[in-house]
Structure 1
Amino acid sequence: MRVDFDRIKERMTALWDHEILDRCCVSVVYEEQAEKEAIDAFPASDEDRMKYWTDPEIVLKRNRRHMEHTYYAGDAFPLVSLNLGPAGHAGFVKNMKWSYEPSTIWFTPFMRDELMPEKILFDRQSFLFQKTLEHARYFCRECRGEYMVSMPDLAGNLDVLAALRGSQELLVDFLTEDEDTIRDCLTRIQGMWEAGLEETYKIVKECDQGGSTIGWLRTWAPGFHGQMQCDISVMFSNDIYERYTRPELEAQSRFLDYPLYHFDGMEQIRHLDTLLSIEELGMIQWTSVVGQPSPLTFMDQLKKIQEKGKGLVLLLKPEEIEPAMQQLSSRGLFILAEAESREEADEIVRVVEKNTRE
């Protein structure tokens, strides 16, 4: 299916400027579940599992099959997800061990005995750093204007440090280690994060029509766009968040042209005021993780995000869209939805058109 990239870019540029062209931004996709499961079937052998994740030809073929069986409505567009695993810059560290499962990557901590910043060395020749750039080049070379290529899933320096150290050990470190030691670790990881995103953006921006996209969120921005997060912060206080996460997010928000924060569930509400005080942060994506209530339950917090001038990305069920839009401004609002038919996808866009408001 062909989409109007030019019009989508206009709407999404307006989204970042908190303006409305003709309606609120909404990305709706429909893909038959049985077809999706068949395409994503994970191979049994270790060798084939590695190829499933890391062979760019196999990855692109799988993405193309998804695109062929996906109906795009509203501001949805075909894209290839450059995904070698979440918090992927953990794999840029020298001597890091990792393995793949069907939907994620597992890292094996190698500093369980002691937190040692000097062991956190950026290995530019590491398999995952080189694969990140290889995938970006291959996907763009094969693009021919048919799709966009996402930025890699590099986010969360503290999440990476937890992968290197062990989550439980890191939580104890916050209480027992010298602050400068932890900051030294995070500074080293930040350098890897910057290199991974900057070098990828140089490759994909032409294919992405001058901008960049976060694949799993289906966002697009007319420049250097990336995701930030601190998922491990659901397990610690706002005092620790202020001490270690705020400096990271401030630096990353300055580094990116269009920074977005992945807000991972209601346990992060205690950090919301910190997030909203970061001037350069442009957008917050609210996630209600498995077992948590609908985002509509947290309408006071969603309104607060908008009142502080931040954009808001919400993944909603079709029946949640109208009540959400009746309470929120359409300025800076981006709605993601998945439909069960083409007809429902088109109807969702009509609902958004009807309910768009200041």
Structure 2
Amino acid sequence: MEFKPDWEQAVRRFEAWYAFEETDRPVMIVSAPKAPRQDPPAPGDLLRRWTDAEYLIARHEAAFRSTHYAGESYPHCWPNLGPGIAGAYAGCEPVFDETTMWLKPLDRPLSGIHPVWDEDNHWWQVTLELTHAAAEAGEGRWVTGITDLGGVTDILAGMRHSDRLCIEMLEEPEEILRVRDGLLEIWKRAYSALADITQPVNGGTTGWLGAFSVHRTYPLQCDFCCMIGPEMFERFVLPELRELCRWLDRSVYHLDGPGAVKHLDALLGIRELNAIQWVQGAGQAPTIEWADLLKRILDAGKSVFAYASPQEVRPLLERLGARGVALAVGASTPEEADYLVRMSAEWSRP
């Protein structure tokens, strides 16, 4: 690969991580700037900044040229239309600002919502265009990821508004399950089509998280779960997660913040789930303070993915070891990045 000459070795380490195999060192996704970044001029129109394929490719290529990829970090061109764009495939209107997108809630009863696949949906066609363009331009040069489809229940929360969804789960549970199942089918149709585009070119798949696999993988999530208790999680969320973990070849769950930890035991009970990504969130203690939580996941036989500062790498690895551990680290220099990767074997040794 042009921007990652040792890519094949990185792929092998990712596969060992998903399989929870014993390894000589953890997966180390460490990158650093190596030259000033020269971004292309951004289109004046906000929507074009999100949807223009030429700008998408030029912006990513500028990042790749200025970045040193150490360990298992790699150039990842990710067609990003905002979190949960699959909701737009189901008929919601996406609203864009400079840095994110949200869905405009549907102002009609649940009985009037019937998610069905529409191949001609405008936002689906935009997604296809961006993905085709990135995959074709990136063959042999970078990895093209699958857009942020979103978590199925998170999409539903965007379609209804989170507070309203909590009430509807109590008052109209069967309708919620019906709409959820329709969204799940849309999600699977979209993923399959995007994987069919990217997998032959990449030799595998990846999503926004960047946890690559030669098989079909994706980061699953339900940030809405912080608003509900274990019983509602068991009824409304776990079935979709179990199905997707069985349906995909490899899976990671995005555990977002202390409010989601109450559901960890339920997640660890999903046999087919390979790994859990931990994000403590803004304003929380640094990653090293959550080492016991990460160890709990590892002790349950699941791999972990976490972000760490360069200063946290050694104490984390001394606590966690190498098996099933993936750390994403932003280093200051290429030399620091290479040092962290090189020393990770020693620091993680029992």
Q: TM-score range by the shorter chain?
A: over 0.9
Question: Which runs of at least 4 in structure 1 moved beyond 6 Å after TM superposition?
Answer: none
* 8 A contact 2:308–2:329 mirrored in 1: yes
Structure 2 partner of 1:101: 97
> Offset of 1:212 from its aligned partner?
0.8
Alpha-carbon spacing, 1:170–1:143, altered in 2? closer, same or farther (3 Å): same
Tell me the amino acid that sits aligned with residue 230 of structure 2. N
* 8 A contact 2:23–2:323 mirrored in 1: no
Question: Are 2:223 and 1:231 equivalent residues in the alignment?
Answer: yes
For the residues of structure 1 that align with 2:216 and 2:139, how far apart are their CA atoms? 21
For the residues of structure 2 that align with 1:160 and 1:287, how far apart are their CA atoms? 20
- Pick the aligned partner of 1:13 from 9, 15, 32: 15
Tell me the amino acid that sits aligned with residue 284 of structure 1. I
Q: Name whichever of 196-205 and 17-26 sits farther off.
A: 17-26
> Offset of 1:104 from its aligned partner?
1.1
Structure 1 partner of 2:187: 193
> Offset of 1:41 from its aligned partner?
8.0
- Pick the aligned partner of 1:327 from 307, 311, 319: 319
Structure 2 partner of 1:263: 255
Question: Are 2:206 and 1:213 equivalent residues in the alignment?
Answer: yes
For the residues of structure 1 that align with 2:112 and 2:184, how far apart are their CA atoms? 13
Tell me the amino acid that sits aligned with residue 212 of structure 1. T
> Offset of 1:197 from its aligned partner?
0.7
Structure 2 partner of 1:154: 149
For the residues of structure 1 that align with 2:99 and 2:290, how far apart are their CA atoms? 28
Q: How does 1:16-27 map to 2 (within 5 A)?
A: 16-27=18-29
Identity of aligned residues (%): 28
Q: How does 1:345-356 map to 2 (within 5 A)?
A: 345-356=337-348
For the residues of structure 2 that align with 1:308 and 1:234, how far apart are their CA atoms? 22
Question: Are 2:131 and 1:133 equivalent residues in the alignment?
Answer: no
Structure 2 partner of 1:163: 158
Unaligned runs of 5+ in 1: none
For the residues of structure 2 that align with 1:32 and 1:181, how far apart are their CA atoms? 53
Question: Are 2:168 and 1:173 equivalent residues in the alignment?
Answer: yes
- Pick the aligned partner of 2:287 from 295, 313, 317: 295
* 8 A contact 2:24–2:322 mirrored in 1: no
- Pick the aligned partner of 1:318 from 310, 324, 340: 310
Structure 1 partner of 2:63: 66
For the residues of structure 1 that align with 2:228 and 2:39, how far apart are their CA atoms? 38
For the residues of structure 2 that align with 1:243 and 1:40, how far apart are their CA atoms? 47
Note the alpha carbon deviations across 1:109-140, whole angstroms, 9 max, x for none. 113x5223644333321122112222221112
For the residues of structure 2 that align with 1:117 and 1:258, how far apart are their CA atoms? 35
For the residues of structure 1 that align with 2:153 and 2:112, how far apart are their CA atoms? 13
Note the alpha carbon deviations across 1:134-156, whole angstroms, 9 max, x for none. 22211121123010101221121
For the residues of structure 2 that align with 1:144 and 1:204, how far apart are their CA atoms? 9
For the residues of structure 2 that align with 1:330 and 1:280, how far apart are their CA atoms? 21
For the residues of structure 1 that align with 2:346 and 2:85, how far apart are their CA atoms? 40
Q: How does the TM-score come out when normalised to structure 1?
A: 0.92
Tell me the amino acid that sits aligned with residue 221 of structure 2. Q
Q: Secondary structure at the match of 1:219?
A: coil
Q: Secondary structure at the match of 2:212?
A: strand
Question: Are 2:47 and 1:53 equivalent residues in the alignment?
Answer: no
Note the alpha carbon deviations across 1:262-311, whole angstroms, 9 max, x for none. 11111111000000001111110000111111233233321121111111
* 8 A contact 1:27–1:218 mirrored in 2: no
Q: Secondary structure at the match of 1:205?
A: helix
Alpha-carbon spacing, 1:180–1:58, altered in 2? closer, same or farther (3 Å): same
For the residues of structure 2 that align with 1:296 and 1:314, how far apart are their CA atoms? 10
> Offset of 1:20 from its aligned partner?
4.0
Q: How does the TM-score come out when normalised to structure 2?
A: 0.94
Question: Are 2:117 and 1:115 equivalent residues in the alignment?
Answer: no
Unaligned runs of 5+ in 2: none
For the residues of structure 2 that align with 1:261 and 1:171, how far apart are their CA atoms? 22
RMSD: 1.9
Residues paired across the two proteins, number: 348
Alpha-carbon spacing, 1:280–1:207, altered in 2? closer, same or farther (3 Å): same
Q: Secondary structure at the match of 2:138?
A: coil
> Offset of 1:21 from its aligned partner?
4.3
Q: Secondary structure at the match of 2:282?
A: coil
Question: Are 2:239 and 1:244 equivalent residues in the alignment?
Answer: no
Note the alpha carbon deviations across 1:239-282, whole angstroms, 9 max, x for none. 11111111010011011000111111111110000000011111
